[in-house]
Structure 1
Amino acid sequence: MFGYVKIGAAVPQLKLADCISNKEEILKLIREANEKGIRVLTFPELALTGYTCGDLFFQLPLIQAAEQALKEIAAETAELDMVIAIGVPVMADNQTFNCVALLHQGRILGLVPKTFIPNYSEFYEERWFASAGDLISEEISYAGQMVPIGADLLFAADGIPFLKIGVEICEDLWVPIPPSSYQSLYGATLLLNASASNELAGKPQYRHQLVAQQSSRCLAAYVYAAAGIGESTQDAVFSGHSLICENGSLLCETESFSRESQLVAADIDLEVLANERRHHTTFMGQLSQPEAQRFYREIHFPMTESPLGKLDRHISPAPFTPDDAHLDARCQNIFQIQVTGLARRMEHAHANTLVIGISGGLDSTLALLVAAKACDYLGLSRDHVLGVTMPGFGTTDRTYNNALELMRSLGIQMKEISIKNAALQHFEDIEHDPEIHDVTYENTQARERTQILMDLANKTNGLVVGTGDLSELALGWATYNGDHMSMYGVNAGVPKTLVRVLVNWVAHSKEVDETASRILLDVLDTPISPELLPPDKDGKINQKTEDLVGPYELHDFFLFHILRFGFRPAKVLYLAEIAFDGSYDRETLLKWLKNFYRRFFVQQFKRSCLPDGPKVGALCLSPRSDWRMPSDAFNRVWMEEVEKL
């Protein structure tokens, strides 16, 4: 199952106070959910009676009808390996409680009463219901079973790792410290909220924020199932707006004001949640506070893993890149992080120039744009940027001309220094045949360029701005003490797929003029290459990086899921097959996945001594912040799993 569990939220067509009709509609949705493979299903608050029954909650026939309906639902679902959460009014200890009953294979696992009872504005619940804090009993006889009752219940699946369920009801979420906050600290990874939130102007947006934020704070999945339009419209209208979030992200939601019953489902990733909690060392810190001390009774139930069908969640092939809805704001934010980081470093070092090697490729282009903007940010003229193009044995006319034109269009200082003679002299000094195009041939050029930049920086009281990106650092695709080294690496936190997006964003923004925009678009269209081998017979690039190390879109995908979430090779492959369906076959994915693991381990020594550079996203490979790995670790565990795949 790779940690995935399919969960759902159901909004049944409601007939107010008609428990028999409501029972049938609930059973219909349960059967539909079972066909979809849903393992945990949540219904709204007081789903068996309706939330807006008012003083009918004082009527014993209604309370007893709800109990009988729940008993029949338990019997009807005895063969289903599904947890079903249904809102129901329950009498206990001379009071009535607004509860959620959890069912599994005919057993009522527990009854969780609402803790915070609203009694303001349109809400008048204290007239009918007591708070969970007023409960005396820990177990009651209900629907023919002895059932645990209380807000101190957590429900743990014995057969599915990390699946522990916490429950709260509507208003419980809207208070300063919801019960789910404590439930998550004590292990609940899935939080269920049976709600009857009425609809008001602007409330859907607030509800989105509330559920997403709580799922994020709790590092949990959160199901919010809300009462639909069948509720009374005497003084309020209910829309049935239900949603499922995971760690701050919306996975799915229902249509508001639907006249039909609705069922939405999503596969939550329990493995991600468990890994995030282990990674965030402050998550459990709250337990040291006296007010966080709680005692929860864990109710265990057997649940077997089932084969994964179609995954009910989107797997992006480009996890580092923003979606279209947030593209402009996200790119602006990332670009400004880079600009501010470089500007602050330049200011602190009292540097007069920013020295950059300009190749006409993607990475140096982005670094140049950042440097130019950093000067603008500091109120300096752009001639404080010294762009140096250093043609060598592999430089093509296309990249050479783009480098020159871009520097002119941005109004920076320009310098051209050929490295050919220096490299030939070095080959002679170390007795290397220049006709042998091996790693010595290539790295000589990279180190010669870095030496030039470093010496120019000394000469001009400047800083060498590094251009290498996060993807290259992951793969070790840099010459040690060559392009691997700089005085500040502005792209160190930006993966290759995001570099492309940022350059494209600048090309279509007001940051550059029409000439620069045209050049940027051509740079984007140029194959990625270090240009360290001679061009082909037509003068075109003869050394394409992605032919050698693999497509960057795959490596960025691997990088994200392996380092961000710690997924094993089998899960990474499973997700890649979904994300790149129709683009790469399994054999190709495995080829490059194996290459990623191989390179990632053997190239750690380059990452252990990286220059400073800004972190811009959730993932960074700096040895001073996010990634501390021994350079001599073995990759056997991972490689053996890849071989088995």
Structure 2
Amino acid sequence: MLKMRKLMILYFVVLHKSFIYISGYGCADHFYESDTLLHCFQVLKSLLESPLTQDIICDVGMPVMHHNVRYNCRVIFLNKKILLIRPKMLLANYGNNREFRWFSPWSRPRHVEEYFLPRMIQDVTGQTTVPFGDGVLSTKDTCLGSEICAELWNPRSPHVDMGLDGIEIFTNSSASYHELRKADHRVNLVKSATTKSGGIYLFANQKGCDGDRLYYDGCAMIAINGDIVARGAQFSLKDVEVVSATLDLEDVRSYRGERCHPHMEYEHKPYQRIKTDFSLSDCDDRCLPTHQPVEWIFHTPEEEISLGPACWLWDYLRRSGQAGFLLPLSGGVDSSSTACIVYSMCVQICRAVKDGNSQVLEDVQRVVSDSSYRPEDPRELCGRLFTTCYMASENSSVDTRNRAKDLAAQIGSNHLNINIDMAVKGMLGIFSMVTGKWPQFRANGGSARENLALQNVQARIRMILAYLFAQLCLWAQGKPGGLLVLGSANVDESLTGYFTKYDCSSADINPIGGVSKMDLKCFLQYCVKRFQLTALISILDAPPTAELEPLTDGKIVQTDEADMGMTYSELSVIGRLRKISKCGPYSMFCKLIHSWKETFSPSQVATKVKHFFRMYSINRHKMTTVTPSYHAENYSPDDNRFDLRPFLYNTQWAWQFRCIDNEVAMME
């Protein structure tokens, strides 16, 4: 019988300065630094010497340099002895992953050679060399092997060959970041890995913000023969979570004996087994347990938006040294979504403190500079951590002002009303004094250039005021610290560049920058029910608007969708085709004439596609300065991280558009 308390996967991540850690995946180019390798071995030394790791087989992730080549490795040790260093063979090099930039894959399957340990490790283990390569560990009662992160996702996953060669336990310490609607992929892969050929699979995933746009959402699990028998939380404020199970190895052997055709010969060279004098099972156990599958209920996308970005914001806040957040709250869907995510963060903090999480309590007391404070009411906590401000101009409506005020009152934020007209007129006065000209809005007879410049000056002044209040708002109240400015531009607006460069979409961080407008609307509907935020109902009913042009009879005439030339629903479809399906103008047109044939003619589809690519190429430069955003969507246009396309284009797309026109001519 296997007791998982004797087998531990360790994946230490930098979450708090008091933690002992081995580097996470977010080190990026720090992997080039010798300091990173040195400090990893120093932490490994501490783990080897710790009494907490005694009589447990530990599987730890860290970078290792071997023959002047850097590998992403698992280091397996037991009782101050390193048993095996297993380098990663299949690297991830897509999406946000750049492993080939820092590591080389181990390209010698089932080959093991000697690795010379650093002196500091030799002093602890008494070993000069240890096995390094694609080997497995053989105990007295079973055999186990490691996969590393993306190897589980690869069509040539090592667990297939390992299972055929008799390895019964697979470990995988992963850095799988959160994306909306992705959690079921991991679960299905782990279940599939043990359904095909039996076995026990231990999957541990990184948790928290690793200092970047990504949030690692946990989901640790243990599976046997296709059943998940233990699982961890997907979103949690806990720094450490332990998942355990007691399983019967005979269940694996029975499963394989019936299903996996033991008469079939293993075609490849057998894995080199590193023998160790240790048992994972207890010889005196007589009661063999029957494992019970657990039901995995997946979060809805709305719940994921409520939980994932909120956990990311909390990690960012507690590690930043700041005292809270400031958000320009316009009364629209986007900024209201950001506000609701902050409120959800406060809900999770209060729940964690109520459940006895001493680390969260310590962190929140440090953030609010009150060692006696104990958060119990999310609204009260929101008032301490969150400042919202409505920045009105002569183009703002009473409706949006009231919507922002009502939402702020329901979530409990410290709300400010700021009028920017004086600052706008001051800026225009400087321009007029130099040039002798005073620009006019289009509604007052001005040109398109004047109209755009007048909109932009309002938007940019809001950004300046947001940072001014973020830095000095608490100072004016006699409180310590500053505030982090939150942005609220969604992923669809980033695609077309439908925002002013360096306006109030420019912020320190943006929790919704990877979320589509359609998902945000569903999220706000969820918040109405989940948090009883009834102020959101009128926000959802109102047409999205920037409110940068003059009102007509006190009413809004400017709407986002009219300005963009397409609906948010259409833009989400186009965004997925552009990034996920890798479509240029012509191939996008060819796909859309089929999916939109009931709604638009080929010429109408052509017009929308060409308009999108003109806007995309004209505004692509804005992605070089866009606020770092929570990564939640796999069609994010995030420059230099997720989307590596250039930012300078020929905006005419002459060849591509001509091909589209030729197709339209033949069709119509």
Q: TM-score, normalised by structure 1?
A: 0.48
| Rg larger for | 1
